[in-house]
């Protein structure tokens, strides 16, 4: 795929949705961090349902530590892997209090040092809250990048690096959200909606579903 086509793809995605953002509900960097930790292998809807009850009661590291692991579990028990997520969140809150003045750190190394926070979570927080041009490659982005050939790669790190290299600078801040939303609602895993896809003529996928 050449750069002219990549540019056209992002121009169309931007035209359709000029201000894309995450579908996780949050009002502070800390709320987003916790929501992203909770969202691993869970739907944004499910996470939003749980945090709608949790955050009015506890939306700071201190308040969540005060809830305790069992107290926290009672709010997140509808979410997959809630036992390990509760343990990680409590430890993360303790670290934020002890090492970061109860604030969410703005650099990758400090974020990735928090329990339950991997490269993907750090990328989402850095991009969404701190507006850094990072690329959190999840299953949707991996699929869209490979099918379209915007940034084909065998693993998420390869795709992440190619996306950062190939996406024109002016689109980089928002590209993460455009690609996730495109994968979630149009370029579906099992049956992509190629017939109603706004980038169908630019996409290089050989197995298009045009019925």
- Looking at the annotation, which residues are catalytic? 120, 138
Taking contact as CB under 6 A, which single stretch among the options 13-21, 61-69, 70-78, 202-210 is the one that binds ligand SF4?
A: 202-210
Q: Taking CB under 6 A as the rule, does residue 197 contact ligand SF4?
A: yes
Residues 106 and 103: their CA atoms lie apart, in Å, by 9
Q: Which residue spans within the chain are E strands per DSSP?
A: none
Per CB under 6 A, contacts with ligand SF4 among 128-147 are 147
Q: Taking CB under 6 A as the rule, does residue 112 contact ligand SF4?
A: no
Q: How far is CA 60 from each of CA 126, 146, 192, 207, rounded to the nearest angstrom? A: 19, 39, 40, 47
Residues 110 and 127: their CA atoms lie apart, in Å, by 15
Taking contact as CB under 6 A, which single stretch among the options 28-36, 103-111, 115-123, 195-203 is the one that binds ligand SF4?
A: 195-203
Residues 72 and 90: their CA atoms lie apart, in Å, by 8
Cβ–Cβ under 8 Å, residues 128 and 134: no
Nearer to ligand SF4, 108 or 149 (CB): 149
Taking contact as CB under 6 A, which single stretch among the options 35-43, 64-72, 123-131, 189-197 is the one that binds ligand SF4?
A: 189-197
Interaction site with ligand SF4 (CB under 6 A): 147-148, 186-187, 192-194, 197, 199-200, 203, 205, 208
């Amino acid at each position: 795929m050449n750069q002219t086509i990549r540019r056209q793809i992002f121009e169309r995605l931007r035209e359709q949705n000029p201000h894309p953002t995450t579908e996780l509900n949050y009002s502070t960097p800390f709320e987003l961090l916790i929501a992203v930790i909770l969202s691993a292998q869970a739907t944004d809807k499910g996470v939003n349902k749980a945090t709608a009850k949790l955050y009015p009661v506890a939306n700071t590291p201190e308040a969540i530590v005060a809830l305790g692991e069992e107290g926290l579990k009672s709010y997140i028990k509808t979410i997959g892997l809630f036992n390990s997520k509760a343990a990680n969140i409590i430890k993360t809150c303790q670290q934020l209090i002890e090492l970061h003045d109860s604030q969410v750190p703005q650099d990758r190394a400090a974020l990735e040092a928090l329990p339950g926070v991997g490269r993907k979570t750090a990328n989402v927080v850095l991009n969404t809250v701190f507006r850094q041009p990072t690329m959190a490659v999840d299953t949707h982005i991996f699929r869209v990048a490979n099918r379209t050939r915007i940034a084909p790669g065998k693993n998420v790190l390869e795709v992440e690096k190619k996306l950062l290299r190939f996406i024109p600078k002016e689109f980089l801040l928002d590209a993460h959200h455009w690609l996730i939303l495109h994968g979630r609602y149009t370029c579906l895993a099992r049956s992509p909606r190629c017939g109603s896809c706004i980038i169908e003529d630019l996409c290089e996928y050989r197995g298009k579903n045009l019925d």
